[in-house]
Amino acid sequence: MTDAVNGASILPLDLAGVSFAAGGRRLIKDVTCTFEAGPRTAVIGPNGAGKSLLLRLCHGLIAPAAGRVVWRGARGRDPAPFQAMVFQRPVMLRRSVTANVDAALALRGVPRPERRARTAEVLERTGLARFAHQPARVLSFGEQQKLALARAWALRPQVLFLDEPTASLDPAATHAVEEIIDAIRGAGTRILMTTHDLGQARRMADEIVFLHRGRMLEKAPAADFFAGPRNDLAQAFVRGELLWWRKRPSRDPATEP
Partner 1 sequence: MRNRRPNPRSWSTRIVTALLGLLVAFAVHGEAAAEDRFIVVASTTSTANSGLFDHILPLFENKTGIQVRVVAVGTGQALRVARNGDADVLLVHHRPSEEAFVAEGFGVARHDVMYNDFVIVGPAADPAAVRGLTDAAAALARIAGAAAPFASRGDDSGTHKAERALWAAAGVDPGAASGSWYRETGSGMGATLNTAAAMDAYALTDRGTWLSFGNRGQLVVLVEGDRRLANPYGVILVDRARHPHVKAEDGQAFIDWLTGREGQAAIASFTIGGQRLFFPSAKSVGGS
Partner 2 sequence: MTDFGDAFTTALSLVVTLDPDLAEIVGLSLRVSLGAVAVATVIGLPAGAALALFRFPGRHGAVILLNALMGLPPVVVGLIVYLLLSRAGPLGVLGLLFTPTAMVIAQVLLVAPIVAALTRQVIEDLWAEYEEQLKSLGAGPGRALGMLLWDGRFSLLTAVLAGFGRASAEVGAVMIVGGNIDHVTRVMTTAIALEVSKGDLALALGLGLILIVLSVSVNGAAFLLKEAAERSQTGGPRQVPRGEDPALP
Binding site for partner 2 (CB under 8 A): 56, 59, 61, 80-81, 83-85, 87-89, 91-96, 103-104, 107-108, 134-142, 144, 155, 167-170, 173
State in angstroms the smallest separation of the CB of 128 from partner 1. 12
* CA–CA dist 49, 47 (Å, integer): 5
Instruction: Single out the segment in contact with partner 1 by CB under 8 A; choices: 4-12, 22-30, 59-67, 126-134.
Output: 126-134
Q: Which is nearer to partner 2, 134 or 235 (CB)?
A: 134
| Binding of partner 1 by 133 (CB under 8 A) | yes
Q: Does 134 bind partner 1 (CB under 8 A)?
A: yes
CA gap 229, 251 in Å, rounded: 20
Q: How far is residue 17 CA from its own chain's centroid?
A: 20
Stretch that binds partner 1, among 32-40, 129-137, 186-194, 223-231 (CB under 8 A): 129-137
If the CB atoms of residues 115 and 219 are measured against partner 2, the closer one turns out to be 115
User: Interface residues for partner 1 in 73-112 (CB under 8 A)?
Assistant: 96, 99
The verdict on 128 binding partner 1 (CB under 8 A) reads no
Distance CA 206, CA 39 (A): 5
Using alpha carbons only, how large is the chain's radius of gyration in Å?
19
The b-or-e profile of 124-135 (16+ CB within 10 A means b, else e) is ebbebbebeeee
Q: Does 35 bind partner 1 (CB under 8 A)?
A: no
Strand 159-163 to strand 83-86: parallel, antiparallel, or no bridges (unpaired)?
parallel
Instruction: Please report whether residue 116 would count as binding partner 1 according to CB under 8 A.
Output: no
Assess 141 for contact with partner 1 (CB under 8 A): no
Backbone φ, ψ for residue 235 (5° rounding): -60, -45
Cα 22 to Cα 27, 46, 67, 243, 255: the distances in Å are: 7, 19, 15, 23, 13
- The helix/strand/coil state of 228 is coil
Among 33, 37, 61, 132, binds partner 1 (CB under 8 A): 132
Closest CB 61 distance from partner 1, rounded Å: 30
For the chain, first and last CA: distance in Å?
A: 49
Q: Which of 89, 112, 130, 175 binds partner 1 (CB under 8 A)?
A: 130
CB of 31 to partner 2, least distance (A): 20
Given the rule CB under 8 A, which residues bind partner 1? Answer: 96, 99, 130-134
